[in-house]
Structure 1
Amino acid sequence: MDIENQLISIEEEIKNICENYTDDNIGGWITGHGSVPCDILFIGEAPGKTEVEEKTPFVGMAGKNFEHYLNLINIKRENIRVTNTCYFRPIKIKESANGRSSISNRTPKTSEISLFKDILYKEINLVDPKIIITLGNIPLKTLTDCKSIGECHGKIIFSKKVNRYVFPMYHPSSLTYNRSEDFKQKYIEDWYKLKEALETI
């Protein structure tokens, strides 16, 4: 089967899981985006509202941060592939006292990540990257034995789970939640470390 048909097959598998999922609330789904094959694969956690609307990973507020730092180390978006560990948008719905409901993102459950693990591995094998950059704890724990992002961000690791080099980074949205100068500096340093790693692989 050629690459195009394999990508269609992956999309059909994702669609089938999402359309038949009834364990909790979800708000749409997306697939990976970018070149296949590709040397650089970024893997996030799960899509948000804007990503689902535009059918592309990392296009919301976190996406703007992401693009900014890609530009910082001279990586063009068209030269990478971006995907997620969980392909649907996990949501929680809150009913207010006046009867209005609000929808927000939630972290995907372990069981939801497991639903897509085989598909994610298929996508990784199809993309055949020289390096995988995990964004946040969820893809990191899915692909490596690291316990937390805090202890292994900014270091290149060889993952036996996927037989590939993995470079863990904080999720771009973390800059929205942690506004300290120390954290921002650490985050920028990780991008420059990634640039160095890309020159050695």
Structure 2
Amino acid sequence: MIGPNEKILELTPEERAHAKNVLMNQAYKMATTCKNCSLNLTRNQVVFGDGDINTKLVFIGEAPGGDEDEQGVPFVGRAGQLLTKILEQVNIKRSEIYITNIVKCRPQNNRDPEPEEMLACYHFLQTQILLIDPAIIILLGNTPAQWILKTNERISKIRGKWFDWHGIAIMPIFHPSYLLRFASPKQKEGSPKHLTWIDIQEISRQWDSVKKTGQTTNDIKFG
């Protein structure tokens, strides 16, 4: 008897890509009708995710903001525009990554999502991760870092470090909205912008390795 996993392996690459797309669309449609928490009462749109579902590089933020709630696309506001510019500086195109948030609906007044809201939405994020099967996940800011890694450590303590999470290399970095608080374009040594520049270069190094070899470098240091 052939098990379900063996049947999946029998699919051609084209069939697997089609199946992945169908399943992701089904998850999105489920999210648009989700009423598992009170955020559905105030949202304009569900902000599910954006980008290449066949990538191996995923970015996860905490929640949509006002611009995202209006457009239905994550990271399109000022913070998202800054993130795109940062990625472009190390030759990572927005089109070659997948980006999403812990919760898919905007919390009012851009507050942090509550634990029960993140829990209610977590199965959607799990589905996205399972379907994409990334080699690298980047956690943007304190909320996703603490939620995914199950830690009380602040982002300032764990940013720039690699963690092995179910076989996936995960790095928390500062959220771009945090970087927007610093008006100076200069990257003073030790400043959040300078530290983010160091982090993004390491992310680019590992991403280049994944694209070339299918895996991160042998010298990657976890913890």
What pairs with 1:61-80 in structure 2 (closer than 5 Å)? 61-80=78-97
Q: How many angstroms does 1:23 deviate by?
A: 6.9
What pairs with 1:142-153 in structure 2 (closer than 5 Å)? 142-146=147-151, 147-153=153-159
Q: Is 1:34 matched up with 2:88?
A: no
Q: Is 1:88 matched up with 2:92?
A: no
Aligned to 2:175: 171
User: Runs of 5+ in structure 1 lacking a partner?
Assistant: 92-103
Give the 3-state SS of the residue equivalent to 1:129 in structure 2: coil
Distance 1:39 1:175, change over 3 A: same
Aligned to 1:99: none
Q: Distance in 2 between matches of 1:179 and 1:186?
A: 16
Distance 1:61 1:5, change over 3 A: same
- Is contact 2:39-2:106 (8 Å) kept? no
What pairs with 1:175-186 in structure 2 (closer than 5 Å)? 175-179=179-183, 181=188, 182-186=191-195
The amino acid that maps onto 1:62 is: A
Aligned to 1:188: 197
TM-score normalised per structure 2: 0.77
TM-score normalised per structure 1: 0.84
Q: How many angstroms does 1:14 deviate by?
A: 1.4
Q: Which has the higher strand share?
A: 1
- Is contact 1:156-1:197 (8 Å) kept? no
Percent same amino acid at aligned positions? 30
Aligned to 2:20: 3
Give the 3-state SS of the residue equivalent to 1:165 in structure 2: strand
Q: Distance in 2 between matches of 1:90 and 1:133?
A: 22
Q: Distance in 1 between matches of 2:70 and 2:40?
A: 20
Q: Distance in 1 between matches of 2:39 and 2:81?
A: 32
Q: Which has the higher helix share?
A: 2
Distance 1:24 1:31, change over 3 A: closer
User: Runs of 5+ in structure 2 lacking a partner?
Assistant: 1-17, 210-215, 217-223
